[in-house]
Amino acid sequence: MADINNTQNNYSASNIQVLEGLEAVRKRPAMYIGDISEKGLHHLVNETVDNSIDEAMAGYCSNIEVTINEDNSITVLDDGRGIPVDEHEKLHKSALEVVMTVLHAGGKFDKGSYKVSGGLHGVGVSCVNALSKHMLSQVYRDGKIYQQEYEKGIPLYPVKVVGETQLRGTRQQFWPDPTIFTTTEYNYDTIARRMRELAYLNAGITIKLTDLRPDAEGKLKEPEIFHAKEGLKEFVRYIDRHRTSIISEPICLKTEKDNVPIEVALIYNNDYQRDNIHSYVNNINTIEGGTHKTGFRIALARSLKNYTERNDQLRKQIEKAKIELAQDDFCEGLTAIISVKVAEPQFEGQTKTKLGNSEVNGAVQKAVGEAMNNYLEENPKDAHQICEKVILAATARVAARKARESVQRKSVMSGGGLPGKLADCSSRDPKKCEIFLVEGDSAGGSAKQGRDRHTQAILPLKGKILNVEKVQWHHVFEAESVMTIMQAIGVRFGVDGEEDRVANIDKLRYDKIIIMTDADVDGAHIDTLLMTLFYRFMPRIIEEGHLYIATPPLYLCTYKNKASEYCYTEQQRQAFIDKYANGEEDAKSIHTQRYKGLGEMNPEQLWDTTMNPETRLLKQVTIDNAAQADEIFSMLMGSDVEPRREFIEKNATYANIDA
């Protein structure tokens, strides 16, 4: 046992670390930007652009240029007022240096400068500076170009004048620190999605994105311009472009209630999905919703319900069907975007992306209620179409409950609630358990023999998986393949007074749900069908990090019985050949076995390559952008063929699958 007195004596003031300036950011970067992988890397771009967007929201900026330079540095240029450069009265240094090097310093804390703002609550651009190996700031202001450079957040010299200009604005260029980030290569599509989103959320702003990195053939992409004159109206059309609308035009409102600026755009389509509502606060995607989303749902349901009660034809239709309309019914076939601007936003929830300001609920209710009431009275044809859709949704909900209850009764009568094909694990601690959803009986047999029986369960999938994108809600419970999965993993619907469409995963039996399919086109199709099922009907499983995709090897490469290696990509296979082959003649002495199906591997091989937690590769399924995810799923699994063909042709080079 340690000597207590000696331990206490060794703990003194010298043990207390004080991290000065931006050292805290470099010491714990994930606390400030989420992580140090690709997601955190792209967060640097978002934080820098957010400063320019704040200028735009304040009415001082209309053009933003974002450039991915050939060396993977990023340049952001705007035509705003330019960061102030005069001396800060308390810190006695240029305001530019204060903004760039001091946490929680910036104009967004002064409501006279910015009424509302996004970003990391004042730590944004200083965090970017701290996590960059080099950063160059230039301010175009008062006819002069002011400049300061930094190394890992530390100024190299005081702010100085380096030229004259007739421009105004701020130019930031930064090089992410490779000692901090696991990758420093930017993905064009990731940046483009956020720039497009920002243009939609801020009508009238022009954002230009340029990529100066040549492709494999030495060609450059054409610069992309993002500009939305109609803002959210164009945004909701873009998200819903792969669906068929049942009303002539999106319903839009832009107003201010209780000092809260509110914008909403919504449209109804002939699909069966619900709660496709995307919400934003100060341009931040509130993926967990919050008071603004709650207020919207309440107002929408109240307006539509009141309209059906006043309309004799609709009221009689409801009475004949012997149904009651529930709030969830009003969201079937709905795609909506809510954007509010809040001076002092309060965020809560697991990812700090849930708005908690109670006053916003009432403000949104007022705005949406007034707008919907006016719309329904002025557009009776579209109003009738929407209400017919609502009544159909309510009818399907009742049918779904009956179908679900029937399935549950059959499970009880058959002697248990678990599917017969499930090979369960012996552990009863969900945190230690995982289940593999395996394509086919053959692969299922190998997986059952090769698994760790204590922690790994196997559920072979037989027959076609239902495409839930194309069916009404109640048909899901009539599909044996879907119900088998739900019963096995312990998901429940319509329990504890919750809505029928809300999947309750409190009784989830496994911490990891792993989709394991063949590395071919059919396997990729099954992957997509299953991901669609989880995204549309059990989104919490994805949101809380339970869904994964296994990565079986594509090849087993062997060289003269001297060396063998499993290769998961074509690049790894080529690297094996380059390592062991000496010329073309020696390369015929390398044997390559292509695994097209999991059933081609024996149990030991399947364990070693795909199931062993020590050596396997798992891809976690995540939702970073709900609007983008919704658009992709509706495009991949919907009825419109042409966009799906274009997507597959564009992305085929990124997939390791054979026909």
Q: Is residue 610 classed as helix, strand or coil in its secondary structure?
A: helix
Q: Give me the residues paired with residue 265 across strands.
A: 252, 337
Q: Which of 539, 560, 569 has its CA nearest to residue 655?
A: 569
3-state SS, residue 442: helix
Which of 282, 262, 257, 264 minimizes the C-alpha distance to 115? Answer: 282
With tokens 């088998």, the residue in question is: 484
- Residue tagged active-site, from 23, 149, 230, 520: 520
Using DSSP, state whether 261 is helix, strand or coil.
strand
Which one is catalytic: 47, 271, 382, 439? 439
Residue 522 is among the residues annotated as catalytic for this protein = yes
Reading the block at residue 216, the tokens are 């494999």
The count of other CB atoms within 10 Å of the CB of residue 502 is 18
How many alpha carbons lie under 13 Å from residue 136 in its C-beta half-sphere?
Answer: 10
Q: How far apart are CA 656 and CA 568, in angstroms?
A: 9
H/E stretch holding 469 reads none
Region for 165 from its dihedrals, namely left if φ exceeds 0, alpha if ψ lies in -120 to 50, beta otherwise? beta
For CA atoms 602, 605, 611, 617, the dihedral sign is: negative
List, in order, residues 6 or more apart from 520 with CB less than 8 Å away: 596, 597, 657, 658, 659
List 197, 518, 630, 631, catalytic entry = 518
**3-class DSSP state of 254:** strand
- 189 is annotated as an active-site residue: no
Backbone angles phi, psi at 573, to 5 degrees: -60, -45
Q: Is the dihedral of CA 350, 352, 358, 361 positive or negative?
A: negative
The C-alpha atoms of residue 176 and residue 142 are separated, in whole angstroms, by 30
Distance (Å, rounded) from C-alpha 541 to C-alpha 621?
10
Q: What end-to-end distance do the CA atoms of the chain give, in Å?
A: 65
What residues are paired with 438 via a beta bridge?
A: 460, 516
Instruction: Indicate the residue type of 288.
Output: E
518 tagged catalytic: yes
DSSP state of 242: T
Closest CA to 300 of 376, 385, 378, 382: 376
443 and 598 Cβ atoms separated by less than 8 Å: yes
Query: Which residue, among 224, 214, 215, has the nearest Cα to 189 in the 3D structure?
Result: 224
C-alpha 531/C-alpha 547 separation (Å) is 9
Cα 492 off chain centre by = 24
Does residue 283 come out as left (phi exceeding 0), alpha (psi in the -120 to 50 range) or beta? left
| Residues catalogued as catalytic | 439, 518, 520, 522
